[in-house]
A and B are shown apart, each in its own frame.
Chain A
């Protein structure tokens, strides 16, 4: 059987709101991005079907990222890689940098398949998977709602605006998981205990030869404007006169 490994990228989920320079991350509970959870589940499933030999999970971020990796290990991944990025670098860490890191790791680990969540729910960028594929010059199957490994490649059913699109791509490849790909399992208590013994390797971006400087600068972050109360009118004439009053017509 050919040796295969799959790879996952997990980003920390950021909640809470701004002070116009960004989003508050101090003292906020971080958890795994829901789409990344689905990606982990898919990888573990592939391993259980014996189509993949090893599942390695990767997370880029500060010390707290280790917790996310542990959760993935408790779901069934075999080992983890924590790419240490903290402080200023972490605030400006974007899809381009992450995909450079993933590409470097994929080459180092000789991965056959990279599965990511389609987008992170903090920045909604939806770029990392695509950029990683481009950097590696690998085919990509994004917004996957169904994945099946076949002899001559991977069949991916993608959710697109017009409906469902089925494509076949060769390996090695990059996939990004969409909502309906699967339902992630709970980390059962015995698996949480087993995860304790699994290894998490520590790596620095410099070790991978990746330059983390951002090409983007965030100028300002704002909350969406407060919703104004609406008005109810009784007749169409009423509506027209109100619009005229407001200078809209």
Chain B
């Protein structure tokens, strides 16, 4: 049985970007940078060594540090204001593009960074530690919009859009409607064919980034009688006549991220604006959301970590009954429990990301990561408010914002119940004789 094992392992090793041997981030709060022992697969002696999941290539490490610094200096000062006004600051959006954070996997030929999926995950996590709203903007762009264009775009479409998506244009993904959320394929938006163009009519809801997006990827049905096999993905530019962006929702959390209804009133799009193939839209949606799931998991992990990082210092300073509240055993046990949950969520997320990069099946793991991370974020933020006591309940401290932001994690990009049902389907299959 040794041979097949070795083959699988070496395949996954090959996929991981090199070089090794630089930093290994161990633990949440530890600030140490240790050099990795030289690792490699030594087939002759049959010994294969495995780096821990929190092992990054040199560029991944540098990116993580760069984004951390950038987020602290260029985003943190705006967070509170953006939340209160329910609006993303233009400066923040501009700097996201300047730093190359909106085109992480896009080829440098189109002005992108040309890095890996895992790098996107790290970026999304680091951004979420500071502001989950900014993180989701970055997540949708990188894991949904850019991927769809890169995988399905014709050379002409890529030429037209990718260089803008990496430098100055935000994209939105329009699937959900008032009557179809989890039941996505029951969507009603119609696209009627006329000669060489289509006319789109319908209403989309809960569309993130809509306020600033320059391009919309719209899922519409060209042939309702074929059911979901008629769903097709259309590229619709913002200025197209008939496209109307509705009023921003007034949300509990993730307020700086715009969420709007988008209406289509006889919107004409040329045939050349179809992304991919007619009637394959449902496949693309599912495929993309499987990957987007890992991004959301990363966002929730970052959110939990950011909240935790703001809270523990307070518990170490606050003195009651003559000692730090951190020193009470009840507190220590709760804090350690939460820290464990966050670590577990992070490992699920990283593993799902590495599985995807290795080209191995990852859907069940991605569902697990998203479901678990959202739960952990809810637990963490709730506990953090308790640990902070009264001040945790006030808007003067950033904790209550994390608490409000985390709830959407169990809802968007596949509700918790949907994730669980999907996982169950896989488990069912695994036990098939």
* Given A70-B62, A71-B62, A196-B59, A189-B100 contact (CB < 8 Å): yes
Could you tell me if B66 and A186 are in contact, using CB atoms closer than 8 angstroms? yes
Determine whether B86 belongs to the interface, using a CB cutoff of 8 Å to chain A.
Answer: no
Could you tell me if B59 and A190 are in contact, using CB atoms closer than 8 angstroms? no
> Which size bracket describes the interface of B in this complex?
20 to 34
Point out which of B59, B62, B67, B98 has the most chain A C-beta atoms below 10 A from its C-beta: B62
| A108 vs B190: C-alpha distance when bound (angstroms) | 71
Determine whether B70 belongs to the interface, using a CB cutoff of 8 Å to chain A.
Answer: yes
Determine whether B398 belongs to the interface, using a CB cutoff of 8 Å to chain A.
Answer: no
Determine whether B113 belongs to the interface, using a CB cutoff of 8 Å to chain A.
Answer: yes
Could you tell me if A188 and B58 are in contact, using CB atoms closer than 8 angstroms? no
| A191 vs B61: C-alpha distance when bound (angstroms) | 14
Q: Which residues of A contact B62 (CB under 8 A)?
A: 67, 70-71, 74, 187, 192, 195
> Which size bracket describes the interface of A in this complex?
20 to 34
Determine whether A112 belongs to the interface, using a CB cutoff of 8 Å to chain B.
Answer: no
Point out which of A28, A30, A63, A186 has the most chain B C-beta atoms below 10 A from its C-beta: A186
Contact with A along B44-63 (1 / 0, CB 8 A): 00000000000000110111
- Tell me the chain A residues, 54-75 only, with Cβ under 8 Å from chain B: 63-64, 66-67, 70-71, 74
Contact with B along A159-192 (1 / 0, CB 8 A): 0000000000000000000000000001111111
| A67 vs B123: C-alpha distance when bound (angstroms) | 19
Determine whether A17 belongs to the interface, using a CB cutoff of 8 Å to chain B.
Answer: no
Which stretch from B28-36, B251-259, B338-346 is at the chain A interface? B28-36
* Given A67-B23, A71-B62, A74-B66, A189-B99 contact (CB < 8 Å): yes
Determine whether A29 belongs to the interface, using a CB cutoff of 8 Å to chain B.
Answer: yes
Q: Which residues of A contact B112 (CB under 8 A)?
A: 190
Measured CB to CB, the residues of B under 8 A from A are: 22-23, 31-35, 58-59, 61-63, 66-67, 69-70, 98-101, 104, 108, 112-115, 119, 123
Rank and list the top 9 A-B pairs by shortest CB-CB distance, nearest first: A189-B100, A27-B32, A189-B113, A190-B100, A29-B31, A188-B100, A190-B113, A192-B62, A187-B66
> What are some 18 contacts across the A-B interface (CB < 8 A)?
A27-B32, A28-B31, A28-B32, A29-B33, A64-B35, A66-B22, A67-B23, A67-B62, A71-B62, A74-B62, A186-B99, A188-B98, A188-B99, A189-B101, A189-B104, A189-B113, A189-B115, A193-B115
Measured CB to CB, the residues of A under 8 A from B are: 27-30, 63-64, 66-67, 70-71, 74, 186-193, 195-196
